[in-house]
């Protein structure tokens, strides 16, 4: 497969744009329950568009799947299910915490968990922390968690400063 820098940068820019703007239409959907438009988003983002991408960029992707061992496919499926649960939780955090606080807390926790869990599971964490790079990595995760804590505290302070009537009005406008 021939690659070039421009097409790679274009793909990265497209992904960054879609990741940063996926929730914009959610604000314009009136009269739908959250679960309905999140389900439509998930069907499009996790089923239809990946299938189209496979058909365009790797038309023989089914042949590739036939060559992959069954235990690997099961692991990928299970991890995909975990990702789906995480995505559902992320959507709920956006609904109940708001976009700014939901993003800060959810993405911060994903950063921390996603950085630490893989080395813990395959036994590389001790090896990683033996060098200065691993120590810096752990320090970065700790700093990120402190930032998450500050974001949570700010959200708590905002929550106690908003009246119950305003909270009810906002929650009714989300339904």
Residue 117 CB neighbours (<10 A): 11
Q: Residue 87: what pLDDT?
A: 78
What's the pLDDT score for residue 173?
Answer: 56
**What integer is the mean pLDDT of 41-54?**
88
48: pLDDT confidence band, cut at 50, 70 and 90? very high
Position 92 scores a pLDDT of 81
Return all residues near 134 (Cβ < 8 A) that are at least 6 apart: 125, 127, 128
CB neighbour burial string for 131-169, b if at least 16 within 10 angstroms, e if fewer: eeebeebeeebeebeeebeebeeebeeeeeeeeeeeeee
Comparing 127 with 75, the larger pLDDT belongs to 75
Nearest to 150 by CA among 110, 87, 105: 105
Angle ∠(82,37,152) on CA atoms, nearest 5: 60
Q: What mean pLDDT comes out for the span 111-136?
A: 83
- The residue among 6 and 171 whose pLDDT is bigger is 6
Q: Place 1 in a pLDDT band, splitting at 50, 70 and 90.
A: low
Alpha carbons 44 and 22: distance in angstroms, whole number: 11
The pLDDT value given to residue 68: 92
């Amino acid at each position: 497969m021939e690659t070039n820098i421009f097409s790679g940068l274009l793909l990265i820019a497209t992904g960054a744009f879609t990741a940063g703007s996926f929730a914009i239409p959610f604000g314009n959907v009136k009269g739908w329950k959250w679960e309905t438009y999140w389900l439509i988003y998930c069907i499009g983002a996790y089923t239809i568009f990946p299938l189209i991408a496979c058909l365009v960029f790797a038309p023989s992707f089914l042949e590739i799947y036939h060559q992959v061992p069954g235990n690997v496919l099961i692991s990928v499926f299970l991890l995909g299910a975990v990702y789906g649960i995480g995505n559902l939780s992320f959507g709920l955090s956006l609904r109940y915490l708001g976009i700014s606080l939901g993003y800060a807390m959810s993405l911060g926790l994903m950063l921390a968990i996603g950085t630490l869990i893989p080395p813990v599971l395959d036994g590389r964490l001790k090896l990683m922390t033996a060098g200065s790079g691993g120590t810096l990595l752990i320090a970065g995760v700790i700093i990120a968690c402190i930032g998450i804590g500050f974001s949570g505290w700010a959200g708590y302070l905002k929550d106690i400063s908003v009246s119950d009537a305003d909270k009810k009005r906002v929650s009714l406008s989300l339904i």
